[in-house]
Structure 1
Amino acid sequence: MHNSTVYHNLFSSDKYDIMTQERWEGIIKCKKRFLEDKSYDPRTCPHMNPDVAASWVRCRQMGIDPHQPFLGRRLNSEEFSHVLEKNGLLIEITKPLVNAFKHLAISTGYGLYLANNKGIFLLHEGEVLPLPLYSYPLTGWMWDEKNIGTTAHSLSLRHKHPFHLTGVENYSEGIENIIASSAPILDENREVIGTLVLAQSLIDEPWKDTFQTLCSNTLGLITAISVAVEAQLKLKRNFINLKRANETVEATLALIEDGIVTIDKNGTIIYNNAEAQRIFKLTPDEAGKKNINDFLAEESSLLVLAQKGDSVTIEETIYLDQKEAQYIIHIQPIMDDDTGELDVAMLTLNHVGKVNALTTNRAGAVAKFAFNDIIGESDAIKKAITKGRYFAKSAENILLIGESGTGKELFAQAIHNHYCSNGPFIAINCAAMPRELIESELFGYEGGSFTGADRSGRPGKIELAEGGTLFLDEIGDMPYELQAVLLRVLEDKQVMRIGGRRYKKVDFRIIAATNQNLKQMVIDKLFRHDLYYRLSVLTIHIPALRERERDAEILANYFIKRYCRKMGKNALQMSPAVSNIINNYEWPGNVRELENAMVYAVINVQGDIIEINDMPEEICGKGNLNHTIERIVSNDDDGDKAGEFPSLSDIEKKAITKALSKSEGNVILAACLLGISKSTIYRKLKEYDIHY
């Protein structure tokens, strides 16, 4: 604001603020000499206000004609419309204040004007003064120092404080009969955005006391109005900024996926974003009409915690339309600084299922595989995949039966992704979990349930599986006493945490897997028959690798390519002898053993071909030799007579001898033909005393 400047200009005893007869006559003489003598500098005149004199000099230097018949430049309608639009807020704020003094201005012969920072008149109320214009009204005319010379409002624009000019102090002769008081309107950066002008015709000697008092009053009035306009503008801009900020916050909160609710100290909902409106089925105009307690259980501690000022996260059940849903709610109270009581509290709501999904994703508990990721061309694996796809469409529990390493979890993930890929996939190995921990892992616990328990409690795997799949691997190893509890959860679809007092509804699917004979375990009283029948509604047998025809070689090539890419190696090939081993080996560890063998070979190989020596010893040892011997002997044209059955040592000796013959005594090549390692064939040569 320019209050201090206002007071200085209105009430200081500066000689330029008082118009005496001597000073008035001195100004008239100065003006006459200035107009007649182009070399005369009015700034040397003791009666001239220095700011006014300096303006006269600038006007003369700009070549402004003080005798011009018409003053200023009139804007065309398009130009003026643009100016009005740009200054809309200034006009909106000023007009009511100007109108308040309209009748006073008319009754006293004054005209009240508003100009922008370019000297363009935007408003005019009161008396229409006789001005040198070729068309009226004055609004739409540009009167700045460059057009008409020195005026009260041009000086206010330049110097940013009020001015009062009397008669000949104006530069142009056309307005020498006008007295005017002007005050600038400043923005928050102290930049001039407009001026207010109060003017009337000069009808009395300006040195008279009544005239001096009148001038002081008019300057004070116009300055007071300008200060009022500034204050209103500041309030309006603050309101606009606040409204814009509020709209931005509203738009931001509308995009947030969390439910946001603000309640007062009594629990009344005073704000809710779009997601909260969806959760509580509220309309925007219902704010202030609903209480948060309408949606909570009677024993809920939410409002009590908020009133205590506790910033905490709790789990609550939301009841709506005879249904209930679990939400994680963060309470952020805002306390009254004076009373120390709750003012408002902001509640952030997240559905338990969403939180659980985020938790499991961060923990890496996600299903990454689909049915298309299961590699194999054998009828056995294709049959299992077909059944898996079909069963996945149902919400019933599924039991996967297969040896260790056959890919039961791969099938479980594929079934999950086929049925509910957006839900969590929670896996727990019943064999790897200590008996004393498996209960809390499955069912969760409330805070303080046992020594070492988290103070806030922890959800179990069953809760985390809400809306998704719970994969129970090695289900046969689940403790017998817990099987009954799991059965109850499956039947009632609700779970109670250890140390809890109420059940929580859960919706999930179980996929169980085992490499044991559960039917026999039921007979032996090691597995509950009712749980077995609940889990085995749909059963899929995952074939062992030895039952999958030539899938072993297909998988081996896949593992080789994948690990070569991981290590940055060029693609490797398997020698015929290694392929023979892959296809004939029993693979007791199934796909997992095959993958480990291929990783070993890729790391161990020196060239571009994987040879027998690059394979693990246990795979290229005697077990594989027996299969290879059987193949060679069965194709031997010189086999034993019918009814005779050779000993194993004879068969081995005969196979090695024949391989050496075919390889022309090359031991390494003979080993390759037999599908055995170099060390094995040398050991056999020594054992059977075979010379080569």
Structure 2
Amino acid sequence: MNRDVNTPRHSAKGRLPAAGDVMLMSAYDERVTMRAWESLLEGRNPSNRSSLPVRSTINDSWQRCATGGIDAQRNEAPIETDKDAVEALARSRPELLAAARRPFRAIGKLLDGTGAMLMLADGEGVLIDVIGDKKTISDGMDIHLGVGGKWTEDVVGTNGIGTALWTGEPVFVHAAEHFCAGIKAWTCAGAPIRDPYDGKVIGVVDLSGYPDIFRPHNIALVTAAAREIEQALADAQNEERTRLLEAFIASASRYRSNDGVMIIDRHGRAIYSSNVPAAERKRVGDMIRGGPESCRLPELSNSGFLDSIVTTLPKDMQSCHICPLELDGDVRGAAFVFPKSDDSRTVAIGSRIASQQVKDESALIIGESPALRAAVDIACKIGETEDVTSLLIEGETGVGKELFARLIHAASRKSANNPFIALNCGAVTKELFGSELFGHVGGAFTGASREGKPGVFELASGGVLSLDEIGEMPLDMQPFLLRVLEERAVNRLGDSRLRPVDVRLVASTNRDLKVEVANGRFRKDLFYRISTVSICVPPLRERGSDSLLLIEHFNRKLADRRASPPLRFSNQALDALLAYRWPGNVRELRNLVERLHLLSNTGLVGLEDLPSDVTEPAQDRTTPQTDATDAVFSLEDAERQAIRSALRAEHGNLSKVAQRLGVSRPTLYRKLEQFGIKRGFI
């Protein structure tokens, strides 16, 4: 009796009992049936089973029960009596209960006073819903025929529910045909419910009562109800499939048409696949269903499920992006995007780890917020054209300006395989600026090398020169830089010979250069020369939930470096990290994750493990103050308040609200509906 109840013995779907079974039932003789049962228990059954005066379905079930050691004198089924456990049981089968609601209501109204009850069991044979004649329902509890009762063959012998689960076919069991003595005063008819996705038996509809309710067509009734439930399940699955596809399109609209895409639902089942070989689909499915224990969660109830998948991806699948898909505020599925390697410069945005897929991992950019996407779009367009020879990247300290410079270099067809040279202007003394930029000949000045030295312009020729913190460049050096940009040639210090250079200059700054120009600290002509095209890298506080993606990225990266498991974060810790303003931006976040790796003893990061600056954040002195009533107590509170504040600030313009919050418009619509916020709220 150890057979998997979800593996049907016969392949026929919805088959009614054989004509021979019905004919035998019409000639049912309780005394003959009882003698056959007693003979079986006494070991006197003949070797030729067909000679027993019972139907083959009953005979086969009795044999299984006898060999399986079922107690034939049992009077009742086991039942879960803890109220909380019973309620949890019902909550764990929401799709099945929802699909059965309509037929159960329709049939249930007709059963009052008939002596019959209609029951719904899950795939484990546990009753999760009962409706019908009130007295019969009350009497049924004498044998635990109620919610929480377990009615598989291997615990309570031959019965309509357990035998239907075993055979995978509609079954009726009448009176003495039950194997256990305490149940022989009942009659029942059960029909299996199959999952439309894969045909697995996931439940049973059963009609039970005292023997006088028996009619051969009872089995037709429960079979029809089972088919209606299956149709409702199919409709619900199709609707959820459509909604998950829409959620994927909304959050990952920039994936390439030749990328492989596989979408799974919250049970880990592949509901959509494009450009993914069958073998790859099977690998992902096997990994989810049969991987480490951390990957065996039955539903995508939270991001921890996705985190566990990410950490167990095989090495050859590390380029796969995983995008959680939300419906009605809950993670209900995930999209696996397998980037094609034929064009590594194309951006694949919209995944859980949205990255610029380039050969140089130093150009990896993590995030999926609209503000970041806009900046990445500009960088990629600039990288793909040869017309822009200089540009300006603006952003606060720590936002990753050099990453964008590397992205432009990596995305360039011309310079991707040529030099990338970076110089931080704030780290060079005024005396050495000319030598660092333009180089020098031997003996050009005191301390100059005898052989001479090329400057960064010569070293970067053919590629990209990144001048970080260009606002720190001495004012008297700026005309020389402007001249090099105009003439595309340099003079080494102490040398009159012009040396041609072909350099794309990417200047970056954390200052407002317009203010610097107005105050006379930066040349206006140089500013206009380098800012023909500019990119504003958004601070982390304006990038929505990108902070969580970055935490995941640095967590995995540090875990790989240390050959240790990734850290796990409590919900309270994640709420605090998401609400934090990150004045130091990505650099501060990376340093914090590294600190947590160094100091963690248990591998679990709780609220108490975070610095006080994160758990009790003071208002950023550089940002507008908010009312004390806007204090954040939970992630949901933070989202609700952020939406309301953005609506007020943007006067109800949803496009601007979505941009301000760093989310897509479909996500904003779902959040408005979730929190009951009206569009006209100001």
Q: Shorter-chain-normalised TM-score: which range?
A: 0.3 to 0.5
Kindly name which structure, 1 or 2, has the bigger radius of gyration based on alpha carbons: 1
TM-score, L = length of structure 2: 0.38
Q: Higher relative contact order at CA 8 Å, sep ≥6: structure 1 or structure 2? A: 2
